[in-house]
Amino acid sequence: MHSFGYRANALLTFSVTALAFICAIASFSDKFSNQNPSAEIQILNINRLKKQSYGNDEVSLTLDISADLQSLFTWNTKQVFAFVAAEYETSKNSLNQVSLWDVIIPDKEHAKFRIQTSNKYRFIDQGHNLRGREFNLTLHWHVMPKTGKMLADKIVMPGYSLPDAYK
């Protein structure tokens, strides 16, 4: 009952249980944080709206993105992954979501930012439905914790539209 093996086993079991409990509590504490992020996106310019050689429409645009995601950070946050997606509907597809730009925010200081950028990922439709198309720009964020449950949410900004003709 007092051999080294028994003591080591008891110690190991207890420490694993305690560690699991602490991780669960850390994750649970995230529920009590008060979160009110804000964001604003402007389209500075639609650079190109063209039809690719094999038929799909493609848009290139420049965005002005400003956001304040500082309230999402808790002591249990490892990073926040934020991305801007264009969401629209066509006759062929009931929902299209195309990610245009993303960023990894490692800490609270970097969470309030303003950036002007052209789209990081190509905005390509399945088909040629983009002329005159209205779309929402949505800022999504994904809070990745140091341990535990991940949290994701978004702000939808409707009312953007593409030109009626190729340019």
Partner 1 sequence: MGWIGETIDSIKSIQIRQLLTQAISLGMIVTSALIIWKTLMCVTGSESPVVVVLSGSMEPGFKRGDILFLHMSKDPIRAGEIVVFNVDGRDIPIVHRVIKVHERENTGDVDVLTKGDNNYGDDRLLYAEGQQWLHRHHIMGRAVGFLPYVGWVTIIMTEKPIIKYILIGALGLLVITSKD
Q: Which residues bind partner 1 (CB under 8 A)?
A: 5, 23, 27, 78-79, 81, 83, 85, 92-99, 102, 104, 106, 121, 126, 140, 142, 144-150, 152, 154
Choice between 75 and 121, CB closer to partner 1: 121
Choice between 30 and 49, CB closer to partner 1: 30
Question: Cβ of residue 165: shortest distance to partner 1, in angstroms?
Answer: 24
Question: Cβ of residue 164: shortest distance to partner 1, in angstroms?
Answer: 23
Choice between 134 and 167, CB closer to partner 1: 134
Choice between 50 and 142, CB closer to partner 1: 142
The letter for the amino acid at 21 is: F
Question: Cβ of residue 34: shortest distance to partner 1, in angstroms?
Answer: 22
The alpha carbon of residue 149 and the mean position of all alpha carbons in its chain are separated, in whole angstroms, by 16
Rounded CA separation 18/14 (Å): 6
Question: Cβ of residue 48: shortest distance to partner 1, in angstroms?
Answer: 19
Question: Cβ of residue 102: shortest distance to partner 1, in angstroms?
Answer: 8
Q: Positive or negative CA dihedral for 49, 127, 157, 70?
A: negative
**Closest among 140, 142, 160, 143 to 83, alpha carbons compared:** 140
| Beta strand pairing call for 57-68 and 38-51 | antiparallel
Choice between 70 and 77, CB closer to partner 1: 77
Rounded CA separation 63/135 (Å): 14
Contacts of 123 (CB under 8 A, 6+ apart): 58, 59, 60, 61, 86, 98, 100
